[in-house]
Structure formats: C-alpha cells, structure tokens
Amino acid sequence: MKENDRPPAQVKDILDGLLSCLGIESKIKQMSVLKSWPDVVGKRISKHSCPVAIRKGNLFVNVDSSGWLAQLSHFKEKIILEFNQRQGEEIVKNIYFRIGKVPLLSPEDRKVKNRLSKIKLNKEDEQWIDKTVKRIKDRKLKRLLKRILSKYKRLNKIKREK
C-alpha cells in the first residue's frame, strides 16, 4: 500500500499523540480530577470542600470546617479509589485536607450566574421593575430590590428556555 493510499488520521489521534509527546496529557488528566470533584463526592460535600491543586498525585482540598475535615479524612481512601477508577489509572495517590477558603458557588451555580449576567431584560420587564419599586423612598433599599427583581426576571427567562 502506498503512503497516499492510507486513510487520513483522525484529529483526535493526532492531538492525543501531540499531547502525550509534549507531556501535557497527564496535566489534563490531573485537571479533570479537580473539575470532577463535585461528581465524585456529591453536592452536599462539594458545598463544604474545594480541590485547589494536584501535584505529583497529591490532591489538596480546602474544607470549610474542622468537622468536615475529620469527616472527609475517614472517606479519603474511598474518594481516591473513585477518582482512579474514573480515570482508569492511578492519578490520585493521596489527598490532603486543610481548612481554607471554599467558594460559595458550585461550578454549576457559576454557570447559571454567568448566564444570568448575559440575559438582557426587555422594556416591559424594566418597566415592571420600576413600577414595583417606585414608592420606595430609601435609595439603597430601592437599588437592592431592583437588583433582586432583575435577577428574578432573568432566572424566569432561563427556566422558560429549558
């Protein structure tokens, strides 16, 4: 078979080879561990914990209280096993929990927040909001209620899209 007769290589195969050659493939797998934290541990635990880094197979996770630190320490081996099974290889060797800053929003909530900021209200919605807060004298309270009502209208638009 001549070289010209070979079928063209798939882009995925070319990229996989390139990433492997550059040594980036392992970094991508490590980053996927950070991203999949909520899926592995569940929503309840992910509200109180946040992976911050992974280096040389060591996953560093912030938790918001000593109670959660103790609780998660008991499940460390189970969490490691779940990550490695999902990856099909040993990516996580150990997890170090420490008390630290945990973002209030989950990745899913951040997506909704980003979508909210991009949705524009129409004239009718803006008029409704203005009419609703019209009688309020306190400027700060009026501004706060306008923001709340704007978010309410935007959330309704997102719900209607689904």
Residue 15 and residue 90 in one domain: yes
- Assign 140 a pLDDT band (cuts: 50, 70, 90): confident
Top pLDDT among 149 and 26 is at: 149
Domain boundary pick from 60, 76, 99 = 99
The mean pLDDT value of the chain amounts to 82
Joined tokens for residue 25: 């493939």
Residue 19 and residue 90 in one domain: yes
pLDDT at 30: 72
The distance from CA 82 to its chain's CA centroid, rounded to whole angstroms, is: 18
Q: How far apart are CA 138 and CA 140, in angstroms?
A: 6
Q: Look at the pTM and tell me if it is higher than 0.85.
A: no
Phi then psi for 21, rounded to 5 degrees? -60, -40
- Four-point Cα dihedral 135, 140, 144, 147, nearest 10: 90
Locate all alpha helices (DSSP H) within 47-106, ordered by sequence: 66-74, 76-87
pLDDT digits (tens, 9 = 90+) for 116-133: 778 888 999 999 889 888
Say which residue the tokens 């980036």 belong to. 24
Residue 8 and residue 75 in one domain: yes
Among candidates 60, 70, 56, which has minimal Cα distance to 34?
60
Task: Quote the DSSP letter at residue 57.
Answer: T
Domain boundary pick from 47, 65, 99 = 99
Residue 21 and residue 91 in one domain: yes
- Assign 17 a pLDDT band (cuts: 50, 70, 90): low
- Four-point Cα dihedral 55, 76, 99, 29, nearest 10: 30
Domain boundary pick from 99, 115, 133 = 99
Q: How far apart are CA 38 and CA 15, in angstroms?
A: 28
Residue 111 and residue 91 in one domain: no
pLDDT digits (tens, 9 = 90+) for 69-112: 999 999 999 999 998 998 888 889 999 999 998 887 666 666 76
Among candidates 105, 34, 31, 98, which has minimal Cα distance to 63?
98
